[in-house]
Chains A and B, each alone.
Chain A
Amino acid sequence: MSENAVSFKNVTKTFGELKAINNVSLDVKKGEILSLLGENGSGKTTLMNMLSGIYFPDAGHIFINGKEEVIRSPKDAFDLGIGMVHQHFKLIDVLTTTENIVLGLKGKLNLKEAEKKIMSIAEKYGFDIDPNKKVYDMSVSEKQTVEIVKVLFRGADILILDEPTAVLTPQETEKLFKVMRNMKKDGKSIIIITHKLNEVKEISDRVAILRKGEFIGMMITAESDEQQMTDMMVGHSVKLNIERKEPQDSKPRIEVKNLSVKDSQGVYKIKDVSFTAESGEVLGIAGISGCGQKELLEAIAGLEKIDSGDVLFTEDNGTKTSLKGKSPRAVSDLGISLSFVPEDRLGMGLVGNMSLVGNMMLRSYRKGASPFVDRKAPRKLAEKVVTDLDVMTPSVDTPVRRLSGGNVQKVLLGREIATKPKVLMTAYAVRGLDINSSYTIYDLINKEKESGTAVIFVGEDLDVLLQISDRILVLCDGEVSGIVDGRKADKNTVGLMMTKKGGENNE
C-alpha cells in the first residue's frame, strides 16, 4: 500500500485556449489535511473537480491509493471513496437530514438504520446533527454539516471541502476545524480550498500552492508564515494592509429609521433597523450571509419595497429627502447620486453580454431628449475606467462576461465611482476576487471615503471589515445586533453579535 491517498501525475486540463491546469503533479498523504492555496483562476477548483469526476483531464494520470484510476463521473469518484462538499449546497429544503443523506442511494430504504448510522458518524467525529430536522429550518453551518456527513455516510476516505469557512462565523469555523481534526485522526485525507491564510495556518499540515494552473510548490505549514504563502501564491511580494484614515468632517448623509422589509411570503427580512451613515466614513455591515444585508441595501437603493420606516438622504445644507417608495430612476431624477455595487455583479450590476461601453451607459443612457443613445461619452468613460483602474480587457468592446471576476468588479465599481456619488454602497465587493484585485478595491473604497463619500460596506470577511470600517453595524436575523467601533472591536465579539443579538452583553 502506498502512503499517498491521491496522486496527480502530469495532469492537464484546457478550456479552449486557456490552460486551466498545466502539467500538475501533487500528492495528498493519507491522514493529512492539505490546503490548496491559489488566487482566483489558479485552477484549484478545476483540479478538485477532476478528482470528483466533474471534469475529465485532457492528459495525465490520477492515482488513488497507489492505483491508477479513471474517474469519469461523480459516481466513479464516490466508488473510490472521494467526496466533495461544494460551496453551494445541494440539499432539498423540504426533506430532513436523514432523507437528504440517503437520497439517491441504491438498495432498500431503511430510515431507522440510516439514522443510526448517521448518529454513529456524528458521535465518532463530534458533529452536531439532528437527523429529523428539515433543511429549511437549518442555519448555513447546519446545512454544511449535513453535506459533510452525507459524504462520510457514503464511505468517503478522501474529502474535498471547497471554501467551507466562507459562510461561517468564527465560532462555527472553530467547530468545523475540531471535526476536521477528528476525521484526520481517523485516517481520512482532507483537501481544503480556502483563501484565508490564518485558517490555512491553523488547520493544515501542508500547503500546496497553485498559480495560473501550475503547481508552484508544497510547504509544510508549521515551517512557513502567511507572508511567504502570499508571495508564493501571487508570484511577487504584496503588502497586506489596508490604509484607514480618520474620517474628516463627517456629517450625517443617510438616515435609516425603523426600517422594515418583508419578503413575498410576508416574512421580515429586515426588522426595525435604524442607523446613520456619515459622509467621509466607511460603515461596515457584518452578519451571517442572508440575514438581511442584501435587502437592506436594496431597500435604500429603491429596489426593495419598504414595509415600514423611512430612509432619509441629507444634503450638505441639511435638507432631508425621503427615499421611501422611490425607484432608482426617481432617486436619480431628484439629483441624488447614490451608487450601488450589488452582490450579483453580472446578474444585476452589469449586463454580461454587453460590451464595456454598453455597460457604462446603463445608468446614464437616458440623458437627453433624443430617442437615440449616445455611445461616444460612454466609450470615453469606458476607456478612462480601463486606464485608471488597470482593467485587463482586449478592448472596450469586449462583452464583460468574458473578463475575469476582478476586472468585472473594477468595471462595475469604476462606473459607479465615475458618477461622483454622495453615497456608495458595496455588497461583498471582493467576493471571488484574488488578493491583488481585492487590495485594489479596498484602495478605491478608501479613496472614495477620503473624498467625502458615505460608504456602506457589506462584507463577509471579518478581518477585512475590522481593518477597513470606521464603524461596524452588526446584523443578526434582520435586526441590528449592535454598532461597534471598527478600530476597537475584536473579531470574537463581532462574531458572537452575529449569532446572538447584542452578543455577550445580553447574557
Chain B
Amino acid sequence: MNKAPHEPLFHVTKRDELSPVKAWTIRIVAILLSLVLCGIITACLTGENPFSVYGSIFDGAFGSERKIWITFQNLSILLIISLALTPAFKMQFWNIGGEGQALMGALGAAAVMICLGDKVSNGVLILLMILASVGLGALWGLIPALLKAKWNTNETLSTLMMNYIATQLVAYYVIVWEVPKGSGNIGIINPQTEAGWLPQVYNRYLLPIIVAIIITIFIYIYQNYTKHGYEIAVVGESRNTARYAGINVNKVIIRTMILSGALCGVAGLLLVGGINHTLTTTIAGGEGFTGVMVSWLAKFNPIAMIATSLLIVFMNRGAGQISTNFGLNQSFADILTGIILFFIIGCEFFIRYRISFRSSARKEEKA
C-alpha cells in the first residue's frame, strides 16, 4: 500500500435538520460568546472595565422609569415598521421601502394637522390624519407592487428609490410650511391648540405601545390563521405552485403591499401625531431599514420580533449612555451591536452545517 496521501484538514458537510433545542443552544452560546468578545474588545480599546460598560448600557435603556418608557416607545415604532414589512418578506417581495412609506405617513399626518388644524374639530382632524397617513403609506407600497405586477420590475430597487422620493417630498413641504420663515424647520405643530395631537393614554408614551401590541397580534393572526396569510405563504414559496392552486399572484402582491405600506404609514402617524409633533426628513430615523433586519432576525415570526427589536433598541439606547459616561464615541455601541449581530447571523452557519476534522474521521474509521 502507498503512504497515506494528504487529506484536507477539515471539510464542511450539510446537517440534517437540527432539533429546536440544539439550534437554540447554539444561538444562545453564540450570543454569550459575542458578549465575551465585546468585553475583550472594550477592555483592550478603552481600558474600561467591560462590566461597567455593560452596566451603563443597561442603565441607559432601563435606568429609570422614564428611560424604560422611552425605550418601549422606541421599541414600539421599530416593531410596527418591522411587522409592516413582514408580510411582504414572507411573500418574498423585498420591501426595502419602509422608510419612505413611514415618511409618507408622517407627511400625511403633518399636512392634515397644518392645513386643517383650525378648521375642523379635533375628532374629525384625527380621523382625517389617520386616513391621510394610512392612505399615503399604502400608496407608497402600491406603486412598486403595480410596477412588479405589470412589468415585473425589481421591487428591491423600486421600493428603495421610493424612499428618496419620499424624503425629497418631505424636504419640500418642510420648506413650504417652515415656521418661522427661513428657519428651514417646521417646529412644533399647533403648539397652542394642540390640534391633531393624538390623545394621551395614561402618559405620553403608552399609545404607540398599545398600537404596537395590537398590530403584533393582528399580524400574527393574519399570517398564521387567515386565507390571505396562507396565500402569502404559498406565493412566497413558489409562484408556480400559487398559479397551480388558482391564486391570483398579482392580486396577492398588490394587496399585501398595500397592507405593508399602510402599516408603515401608521408608524409615521404615531411619530408625528403622538411623539414628535413635528415633521423632519429624518423623522423615521432609518427604522425602515433597521426593521428589515429585525424582521429577518426573527425569521418573520411576529412574536420573536419583539425580542429582536428589543435587542436593537436596547443597544441603541445604551449607546447614548456610554458615550456620556465614559466619553466614548456613540459609534462604540454600534461596534458592539455589529459584533452581536455578526454572531447571531453567523451561528446559523453552524446550525446548518457541520465541520468535520481530518483526525476525527480517521478515528471513527478505526473504531
Query: What 7 A-B pairs are tightest by C-beta distance, nearest first?
Result: A16-B16, A329-B246, A59-B365, A328-B246, A348-B240, A351-B237, A70-B5
Most B-side CB within 10 Å, residue of A56, A72, A346: A56
Contact yes or no, B237 A354, CB < 8 A? yes
Knowing A371-B227, A372-B227, A402-B17, the reply to whether A351 touches B233 (Cβ < 8 A) is yes
Contact yes or no, A59 B361, CB < 8 A? yes
* Chain B positions within 8 Å of A373 at CB level: 225-227, 229-230
Kindly state the separation between the CA atoms of A353 and B226 in the bound complex, as whole angstroms.
18
Q: How far is the CB of A260 from the nearest CB of chain B, in Å? A: 21
Q: How far is the CB of A399 from the nearest CB of chain B, in Å? A: 9
* Chain B positions within 8 Å of A329 at CB level: 246-248
Quick one: which of B6, B17, B240 contacts A344, CB cutoff 8 A?
B240
Knowing A15-B16, A16-B16, the reply to whether A68 touches B4 (Cβ < 8 A) is yes
Knowing A58-B356, A371-B226, the reply to whether A72 touches B241 (Cβ < 8 A) is no
Contact yes or no, A342 B361, CB < 8 A? no
* Chain B positions within 8 Å of A155 at CB level: none
* Chain A positions within 8 Å of B233 at CB level: 351, 354, 358
Contact yes or no, A371 B228, CB < 8 A? yes
B66 close to chain A: CB less than 8 A: no
Chain A, residues 315-342, CB within 8 Å of chain B (1/0): the string is 0000000000001111010000000101
Contact yes or no, A56 B8, CB < 8 A? yes
A37 close to chain B: CB less than 8 A: no
Chain B, residues 230-272, CB within 8 Å of chain A (1/0): the string is 1001100110110111111000000000000000000000000
Contact yes or no, B244 A342, CB < 8 A? yes
Q: How far is the CB of A270 from the nearest CB of chain B, in Å? A: 18
Q: How far is the CB of B5 from the nearest CB of chain A, in Å? A: 5
Kindly state the separation between the CA atoms of A349 and B237 in the bound complex, as whole angstroms.
12
Quick one: which of B245, B248, B365 contacts A362, CB cutoff 8 A?
B245
Knowing A68-B5, A354-B237, the reply to whether A56 touches B364 (Cβ < 8 A) is no
* Chain B positions within 8 Å of A17 at CB level: 16
Contact yes or no, B241 A362, CB < 8 A? yes
* Chain B positions within 8 Å of A328 at CB level: 243-246
Q: What is the chain A residue whose CB lies nearest that of B246?
A: A329
Chain B, residues 207-218, CB within 8 Å of chain A (1/0): the string is 000000000000
B115 close to chain A: CB less than 8 A: no
Knowing A15-B13, A18-B16, the reply to whether A348 touches B8 (Cβ < 8 A) is no
* Chain A positions within 8 Å of B362 at CB level: 59
- A interface residue numbers (CB < 8 A to B): 10, 12, 14-18, 56, 58-60, 67-70, 72, 301, 303, 327-330, 332, 340, 342, 344, 346-354, 358, 361-363, 365-366, 371-373, 402
Apart from A58-B356, A70-B5, A349-B241, 6 more pairs, CB < 8 Å: A14-B13, A354-B234, A354-B237, A358-B233, A362-B244, A402-B17
Kindly state the separation between the CA atoms of A67 and B4 in the bound complex, as whole angstroms.
10
Kindly state the separation between the CA atoms of A502 and B356 in the bound complex, as whole angstroms.
58
25 A/B residue pairs, CB under 8 Å, sorted by A? A15-B16, A56-B8, A58-B356, A58-B361, A60-B365, A68-B1, A68-B5, A69-B5, A70-B5, A303-B243, A328-B245, A328-B246, A330-B246, A332-B246, A347-B238, A349-B241, A351-B233, A351-B237, A351-B238, A354-B237, A362-B245, A365-B227, A371-B226, A371-B227, A372-B226
* Chain B positions within 8 Å of A353 at CB level: 237
Quick one: which of A340, A352, A372, A402 contacts B244, CB cutoff 8 A?
A340
Kindly state the separation between the CA atoms of A330 and B246 in the bound complex, as whole angstroms.
8
Knowing A68-B1, A361-B230, the reply to whether A16 touches B14 (Cβ < 8 A) is yes
Knowing A68-B1, A68-B5, A373-B230, the reply to whether A59 touches B364 (Cβ < 8 A) is yes
Contact yes or no, A72 B8, CB < 8 A? yes
* Chain A positions within 8 Å of B2 at CB level: 67-68
Kindly state the separation between the CA atoms of A378 and B196 in the bound complex, as whole angstroms.
49
Quick one: which of B8, B13, B230, B244 contacts A349, CB cutoff 8 A?
B244
Kindly state the separation between the CA atoms of A354 and B13 in the bound complex, as whole angstroms.
25
* Chain B positions within 8 Å of A59 at CB level: 361-362, 364-365
* Chain B positions within 8 Å of A342 at CB level: 244
B65 close to chain A: CB less than 8 A: no
Kindly state the separation between the CA atoms of A182 and B8 in the bound complex, as whole angstroms.
38
Kindly state the separation between the CA atoms of A347 and B6 in the bound complex, as whole angstroms.
42
Contact yes or no, B246 A351, CB < 8 A? no
Instruction: Scan residues 346-367 of chain B and give those whose CB is less than 8 A from a CB of chain A.
Output: 354, 356, 361-362, 364-365
Q: What is the chain B residue whose CB lies nearest that of A344?
A: B240
Chain B, residues 1-31, CB within 8 Å of chain A (1/0): the string is 1101111100101111100000000000000
Kindly state the separation between the CA atoms of A329 and B362 in the bound complex, as whole angstroms.
58
* Chain A positions within 8 Å of B244 at CB level: 301, 303, 328, 340, 342, 348-349, 362
Chain B, residues 309-350, CB within 8 Å of chain A (1/0): the string is 000000000000000000000000000000000000000000
Q: What is the chain A residue whose CB lies nearest that of B367?
A: A59
- Number of interchain pairs (Cβ within 8 Å): 99
Kindly state the separation between the CA atoms of A17 and B8 in the bound complex, as whole angstroms.
23
Contact yes or no, B234 A56, CB < 8 A? no
* Chain A positions within 8 Å of B240 at CB level: 344, 347-348
Kindly state the separation between the CA atoms of A72 and B16 in the bound complex, as whole angstroms.
23
Contact yes or no, A58 B364, CB < 8 A? yes
* Chain B positions within 8 Å of A344 at CB level: 240
Kindly state the separation between the CA atoms of A327 and B11 in the bound complex, as whole angstroms.
49
Kindly state the separation between the CA atoms of A402 and B17 in the bound complex, as whole angstroms.
9
Kindly state the separation between the CA atoms of A340 and B246 in the bound complex, as whole angstroms.
12
Contact yes or no, A363 B227, CB < 8 A? no
Q: How far is the CB of B149 from the nearest CB of chain A, in Å? A: 16
Q: How far is the CB of B152 from the nearest CB of chain A, in Å? A: 12
* Chain A positions within 8 Å of B8 at CB level: 56, 70, 72
Kindly state the separation between the CA atoms of A134 and B228 in the bound complex, as whole angstroms.
47
Kindly state the separation between the CA atoms of A12 and B364 in the bound complex, as whole angstroms.
10
Kindly state the separation between the CA atoms of A372 and B13 in the bound complex, as whole angstroms.
41
Q: How far is the CB of B185 from the nearest CB of chain A, in Å? A: 45
Q: What is the chain A residue whose CB lies nearest that of B12?
A: A56
Q: How far is the CB of B323 from the nearest CB of chain A, in Å? A: 43
Kindly state the separation between the CA atoms of A327 and B356 in the bound complex, as whole angstroms.
51
Q: How far is the CB of A440 from the nearest CB of chain B, in Å? A: 23
* Chain B positions within 8 Å of A340 at CB level: 244
Kindly state the separation between the CA atoms of A348 and B239 in the bound complex, as whole angstroms.
8
* Chain B positions within 8 Å of A18 at CB level: 16
* Chain A positions within 8 Å of B6 at CB level: 70
Contact yes or no, A347 B241, CB < 8 A? yes
Q: What is the chain B residue whose CB lies nearest that of A351?
A: B237
* Chain B positions within 8 Å of A362 at CB level: 234, 241, 244-245
Kindly state the separation between the CA atoms of A340 and B8 in the bound complex, as whole angstroms.
48
* Chain B positions within 8 Å of A358 at CB level: 230, 233
* Chain B positions within 8 Å of A363 at CB level: 245-246
Q: What is the chain B residue whose CB lies nearest that of A70?
A: B5
Contact yes or no, B4 A352, CB < 8 A? no
Contact yes or no, B241 A348, CB < 8 A? yes
Kindly state the separation between the CA atoms of A309 and B46 in the bound complex, as whole angstroms.
78
Q: How far is the CB of B329 from the nearest CB of chain A, in Å? A: 43
Kindly state the separation between the CA atoms of A204 and B238 in the bound complex, as whole angstroms.
42
Kindly state the separation between the CA atoms of A14 and B360 in the bound complex, as whole angstroms.
14
Q: What is the chain A residue whose CB lies nearest that of B228?
A: A371
* Chain B positions within 8 Å of A365 at CB level: 227, 230
Kindly state the separation between the CA atoms of A361 and B238 in the bound complex, as whole angstroms.
16
Contact yes or no, B14 A372, CB < 8 A? no
Kindly state the separation between the CA atoms of A60 and B4 in the bound complex, as whole angstroms.
11
Kindly state the separation between the CA atoms of A505 and B285 in the bound complex, as whole angstroms.
76
* Chain A positions within 8 Å of B228 at CB level: 371
Kindly state the separation between the CA atoms of A340 and B2 in the bound complex, as whole angstroms.
57
Kindly state the separation between the CA atoms of A221 and B364 in the bound complex, as whole angstroms.
35
